[in-house]
Structure 1
Amino acid sequence: MSSTTKQADLWTILRMPRFRNVWIGASISQLGDVCFLIAVPWLVLQMTGSGLVLGSLAMAVAIPRSILLLLGGSVSDRLPPSLILIVGNLVQAVSVAIVAILAWNKMLFLWELYILGFCFGVADAFCSPALNVLVPNLVPKDNLQAANSLLQGTAQICLLFGAGAAGLLVDKFGVIPALAIDSVSFLFLVTALLCIPIMRNASAAESGILSGVLDGLRYVYKNELLRSLIVSFACINFCVNGAIQIGLTALAKFRFNSSTDFGILITTASLGALVGTLAAGVWRIDKDLRLMIVGASAIMAVLLLVLGLDLPFWSVLVIAALLGVVAGYTNIFVVAWLQGNISTNFRGSVMSALVLGSTGLAPISLAVSGLLVQLGFPTLFISAGVTLSLVAIFMALRSKEWSRQATVALADTADRSTS
């Protein structure tokens, strides 16, 4: 078998009615989310003019999301994921509608926006793992990579190209129409989800939801492959996020002294991530998980180390694009692999642990990167490159047989965790 197999899975899954309807509904909802991301910060600045308040509102979303994410994974393993998504999206739709109505009647206060942020954080803590549990129920295992590619790629397209349109909407008509659009957009996904039979996982564990959090953590801890994967994945995202968001900013400011160059670099990295995400839906690399992590970590380590050199702008641009491509492809590969190989009893728990281990560390990544860049931006890139080199070496020392046995052991670990 060749190491790379070209496949037409993107077209195949679009011929599957249930997935296609969910994808369309999610895409419309994501366009609404872009309106929300533009309208709410603008509204906060109109009301207070304070960047500190804006940051604290972002924390009102992030803190409950991080705290409840593992609980959301446990709930997704025990309740129908489509039902969780329906409730979560309705909560967000109603919350945004209330804020829009209050703003329309000039009765909106800052504390109400904090409640809105809290509701969004809680809803996302449950909806994020629920969607990861739902996707394997909509498409066959061989199509999981394409399905995740399409969902994530569409979300990135909406953010990249929808933000400008949302900004024009807010500039022309104000924040209230943008909030109204966001509220209505949730209903499209809810409608698609209502067409899916609400079925509970037949093999779900009998333990309670809170004890299910511990069961899920034990399931991860007892399988060395899962432990290694989650740690490696967290390291990759930790290093790449800081290097792109902080490192490229420092490069643009102190080496090229151009805000335009900064914008071009960030856009290029984002487009690279989009290309990598969509490529994962068209080309599936037929290598085991261990080799994929080794290859991705090694490539990104080299790219980050090279960024520490005194390079011309076009070289930095190429490296930023390649970093985005490799990171985008790897994210889809890992998510699809987990969805297809872990026990259905713990799918939500494992996926929430993966998300928490990557996005949950994002603020720390930015803080550490900010400290390192004070020592000179080469220090940041070299530190990130060395870290990913260690990840590649760590996974490379594992044998192919170890990877195979650890994959088979996932089911055995599930049985022991529920006994």
Structure 2
Amino acid sequence: MSVSYTGLLKQRNYRLLFSGQVLSQLGDAIYEVGIVWLVYQMTGSPAALGWLVLCQTVPFLVLGLIAGAYVDRWDRRLTMIVTDVLRGVAVLYLMVRYLTGGLTVWEVCLVAAVLTSARSFFHPSLRAILPQMLPRDQLLLANSLSESAKRICKVGGMLLGGALMAAERADLMLVINTASFFLSLWTVWKIALPSAELTSPAPVRATIFQDIRSAGLEIGRTKSVLFAIVLSSLGLIASAGLIKIGLPLLAGEGDVYGLLMACFSVGMFASAALIKRLSKLSILTLVALGWLLYGVAFGALAFTPPLVFACLLIGLTGFAHFLTDIPVTTIIQQKMPLHRMSACQSIWATASFGAESLGVAVAGPLLGFFTVTSGFALAGGILVGLGLFPLIKFRSRGQNKLDRRSLAE
């Protein structure tokens, strides 16, 4: 991989896509914090916040798999434009209703469902359009840069969103998010792919579920992709609950937990900074190494180390988290044919979401039976095993060893 982050941004199409998504992610992060505070200010009810979260989650459970299959039948660039219009108009509606004093919590929940539904179609389009504008050996670095920017925008946006709500400027929060969608739309509109590459339609079949089945079979035939998805799904089941439930219990105090999560973010940024050197390893090796590091960190946390050492260990888990996520998206982009790309990405997103949700659901009851330190020790052992298995079983074939099948097939 000879290209650098600077080299990536010199490519017009990627620069447009990247800048639009940075703006959109910043607006989303501001909105994510602001809308929760707005609903609570409107109702004073925790139950209303529960309805909001439900409306943000259920559409993905319904549309997660089928959205990607539909996107494979459509012009992906046009799909991104339409979904940005839909999201921008939806938040604009909230802003108008808020300014006129008629906004209700049910309207906020309805818009939340619309935003999640549109995102279910936007993200598979985004992940599938990257291989149409970049060589395969640049995809890992491009995904890493995009994810790093996303994390930075999320942290900065949440801080700004909290500040805006503290200043009672919900109107400005809504204006910023509305503008971010229309700016994202403009950057996607300006992308100039050759007309033959704007879409890669799949042959129309009897049902959309046959397309999903075909995408699943495509993953099953490509063992490296299947193994990466299964490995990361199992890892998420073992780790997600400990990060979301076990870590706050281990920290004991809110300020300590905040410090640990800051270290987690620092670890992810460090991983992004080193990804060019790490890309000399095969994708499967990166994923396996990520879960191995996760397991080592979890095992060490089981001994309740001093705070400084705990911060280093959590930073290591952040470093590992980046390796267990971005490479899976990349290997799908590299090895799946374009006419199945969005459906395959949706299968991975659904598997990831389901595994993370299951991990959190299982961790709660388990931590009721075991101590938190025992939970970290158990999860650490499982993750070390997950990491060691592929490292022992498979030989690294190099990052750029690809399937014989062409992206154009």
The two structures have a TM-score, normalised by structure 1, of 0.89
CA 1:8 to 1:225, structure 2 compared with 1: closer, same or farther past 3 Å? closer
Pairing of 1:7-406 with structure 2 (within 5 A): 7-197=2-192, 199-202=197-200, 204-207=202-205, 208-253=207-252, 258-280=253-275, 282-374=276-368, 375-396=370-391, 398-400=393-395
- AA aligned to 1:204 is A
Matched AA of 2:26: L
**How far 1:8 moved relative to its partner?**
4.8
Cα shift at 1:195? 1.5
Change beyond 3 A, Cα 1:58–1:302: same
Cα distance, 1:278 vs structure 2: 4.0
What TM-score results when the alignment is normalised by the length of structure 2? 0.91
Secondary structure of residue in 1 paired with 2:304: coil
- Please give the alpha-carbon distance, in whole angstroms, between the structure 2 residues aligned to 1:57 and 1:92: 16
- Give the 3 Å change call, closer, same or farther, for CA 181–401 of structure 1 in structure 2: closer
1:115 alignment partner AA: L
Conserved 8 A contact 1:294-1:395:
yes
The answer to whether the Cα contact below 8 Å between 2:75 and 2:201 also exists between their aligned partners in 1 is no
- Per the TM alignment, residue 37 of structure 1 is displaced from its structure 2 partner at its CA by 0.7
Percent of matched pairs sharing the same residue = 23
Q: Is the 8 Å Cα contact of residues 293 and 316 (structure 2) preserved in structure 1? A: no
Q: Which runs of 5+ in 2 are unaligned?
A: none
| Separation in structure 2 between the aligned mates of residue 249 and residue 178 of structure 1, nearest angstrom | 29
| Alignment size in residue pairs | 403
Query: 1:107, CA displacement in angstroms?
Result: 1.0
Aligned-residue CA RMSD (Å): 2.5
| Alpha-carbon separation, structure 1, partners of 2:259 and 2:61 | 31
**For 1:9-48, what per-residue CA distance to the aligned partner results, in whole angstroms no more than 9, with x for missing partners?**
2011110111101111111111111221122101110111
Which one-letter code corresponds to 2:390 in the other structure? M
Q: Secondary structure of the equivalent of 2:319? A: helix
Instruction: Letter of the 2:123 partner, please give it.
Output: S
Distance in 1 (alpha carbons) for counterparts of 2:201 and 2:178:
35
Q: CA deviation at 1:269?
A: 0.8
Distance 1:275 1:240, change over 3 A: farther
Deviates more, 1:286-295 or 1:130-139: 286-295
**AA paired with 1:165?**
L
Contact kept, 8 Å, 1:86 with 1:190, in 2: the verdict is yes
CA distance in 2, matches of 1:234, 1:126: 22
Distance in 2 of aligned mates of 1:67 and 1:305: 37
